[in-house]
Amino acid sequence: MVCYDERRVEFHSSGEVCRGILITPPGEGRSPVVVMCAGFAGTQRTPAIRAAAHAFCRAGFAVLTFDYRRFGDSDGRPRQVIDLAGQRRDIESAVDFVSGQTEIDATRIVLWGTSLGGGHVTVVAARRGDIAAVIAQVPFNGFPRRVEGRSAAATVRLLSAMAIDRMRGLLRLPPYYIDAVGAPGSTAVMASRAAEHAVALLDGTGWVNRVAPRVLFAMMRYHPGASAASVTAPLLVCAATEDCETPLESVAEIARRAPEGRLLTYRVSHFDVYDAAVRQHLIADQIAFLDSVLR
């Protein structure tokens, strides 16, 4: 099946413009749709998101990818500043937008999120009654108690950057940016060899490897799994057993608490899920899940 229609779209979220891409499969009927939500500092143009979107489309699903405000193609300033509640509002605005499109079956809306986006879709689905299914891929569910590979000195540098950036935000000064992803020992939010390799694959995509670290204070109190019991839709959690960013124990909690939660595990790391071979396996399982609950 070939995706024949791919068009740029815009919708408003809290008075600002979010930009996305709506991909629809051949056929005259209304299609189920997968709304894809990127992870920490991620954008819709990263290769993993694009490849997954086209895989869903080949399976007969329409797909909406989009950028959160302040990232990628969407409006909003200051740039590269993550607002957890604001990103969840963007997801809800994306759902509202896509449900009104004539080629979309509004009774079969799927939320798909990876990493931080996987946590977001859990919370959004818990408070909406129009979501038919949820896929949370290596979802964020609170920081691990111990971050492997980060030295005490690197931790102090990161905490200092967080404090400086939060103070600059309170004073309405430009953000104090650090790398989102980097090498071991760096001040990046995610610092490991696997993370470093993953970011190298994004060279030339236009993705910006920087973020305002003030959001990490809010993420310390962010536990999407607490909302999972209120998710009435079938929810698939795809977890990586070797994940140091979103450990299996915390990820599994989301599936365990959801009334219709399912858990699939893969013997890979957090960033391996974006590798082409691993991604192909995950997407096949995710499509099989959707076929079982929607068709």
pLDDT tens digits, 124-180: 999 999 999 999 999 999 998 766 667 889 899 999 999 999 999 999 999 999 999
Please report the pLDDT score of residue 266 as a whole number: 98
In a domain? residue 209: no
pLDDT, greater one: 88 or 203 = 88
Share of the chain above pLDDT 90, in %: 85
pLDDT tens column, 74-84: 999 999 999 99
In a domain? residue 164: no
Q: Report how many domains make up the chain.
A: 1
Q: Residue 128: which domain range?
A: 5-150+221-292
Backbone φ, ψ for residue 66 (5° rounding): -160, 165
Instruction: State how far the Cα of 148 lies from the Cα of 226, in Å rounded to an integer.
Output: 25
In a domain? residue 258: yes
Share of the chain above pLDDT 70, in %: 96
Contact 58, 1 (CB under 8 A): yes
**CATH number for the domain that contains residue 30:** 3.40.50.1820
| Paired strand residues for 261 | 235
Please report the pLDDT score of residue 2 as a whole number: 56
In a domain? residue 267: yes
pLDDT tens column, 215-238: 999 999 999 999 999 999 999 999
In a domain? residue 144: yes
pTM of the model: 0.96
Residue 203 has pLDDT above 70, yes or no: no
In a domain? residue 211: no
In a domain? residue 38: yes
In a domain? residue 235: yes
Mean pLDDT over 64-71 rounds to: 99
Q: List the 133-137 sheet strands across, edge first.
A: 5-13, 16-24, 62-66, 31-37, 104-114, 133-137, 235-240, 261-266
Determine how many CB atoms are found less than 10 A away from the CB of residue 102: 5
| Paired strand residues for 239 | 265
Backbone φ, ψ for residue 122 (5° rounding): -65, -45
